[in-house]
Chains A and B, each alone.
Chain A
Amino acid sequence: MTAQETVQTPVQRAVRAVLTQRTVLLVVLILVVVVWMSLLSAGGFLTAPYNPDYMSAALVDAVPLAMLALAELIVILSGRGGIDLSVGAIVSLTGMVFGFAYGQWGWPMWLAVPLALVVGAALGGINGLLVARLRFPALIATLATYYAYKSIAIVINQQQPISTEPVQQLYAVTSSVELPLIGRNIPDVPLGVITFLLPAVVVVWLLLTRTTYGRRLFGIGTNDVAAQWSGIDVAATRMRAYVLAGMIAGLVAVYVTAQFASARPDAGTSGNGLALPAITIAVLGGVAITGGIGKVSGVVLAAVLITWLNAGILLYVPGNAGTQFQLFALGIILVFAALLNAITTRRYGGTR
Chain B
Amino acid sequence: MTVVEERPPPARGRVLAPAVSGQELVLVGVIAVLWVLLAFTTPAFLTAGSIQPLLVEVAPVAVMGVGMTLVIISAGIDVSVGATMMVCGVITAKLLVDADVPLLLALVVAVAVGAVLGTLNGVLIAYGRVHAIIITFGTANLFLFLGLQIFGSQTVNGIPGTLAFFGRGAEGRFLGIPHSFLLTVAIAAVAWWYLRHSVGGRHLYAIGGNAVAARLAGVRVQRRVLLAYVITGALVGLAAVFTVAKGTSTLDQSIGTGRELAVIAATVIGGTSIVGGRGSVLGTVLGALLVQTVSSGVTQLNWPSQLSDLFVGIFVIVAVGADLIRQRPFNRRPLNRRRAR
Contact = CB atoms under 8 A, between A and B. Distances in A.
Interface of A: 81, 83, 85, 130, 134-137, 139-141, 143-152, 154-155, 158-159, 271-272, 276, 279-280, 283, 289-290, 320-321, 324-325, 327-328, 330-332, 334-335, 338-339, 341-342
Interface in B1-54: none
28 contacts: A81-B275, A83-B133, A130-B317, A134-B321, A136-B317, A139-B77, A140-B274, A141-B317, A144-B312, A144-B316, A144-B320, A148-B309, A150-B306, A150-B309, A151-B308, A152-B310, A154-B306, A271-B257, A280-B137, A283-B134, A289-B134, A328-B145, A331-B139, A332-B138, A334-B137, A335-B142, A342-B128, A342-B129
A271 B77 CA distance: 21
Given A137-B320, A140-B268, A327 B148 contact: yes
A155 B306 contact: yes
B310 A151 contact: yes
B306 A331 contact: no
A148 B314 contact: yes
A144 B148 CA distance: 29
Interface of B: 77, 79, 124, 128-131, 133-135, 137-145, 148-149, 153, 257-258, 261, 264-265, 268, 274-275, 304, 306-310, 312-314, 316-317, 320-321, 324
Contacts of B142: 327-328, 331-332, 335
Given A272-B257, A276-B137, A339-B130, A134 B312 contact: no
Contacts, number: 135
Contacts of A332: 138, 142
Contact of A320 (B141, B153, B268, B310): B153
A194 B249 CA distance: 49
A335 B139 contact: yes
Contacts of A341: 130
Given A85-B261, A271-B257, A338-B138, 6 more contacts: A136-B324, A139-B274, A143-B316, A279-B137, A283-B134, A332-B138
A334 B141 contact: yes
B309 A339 contact: no
A261 to B, nearest CB: 23
A145 B264 CA distance: 14
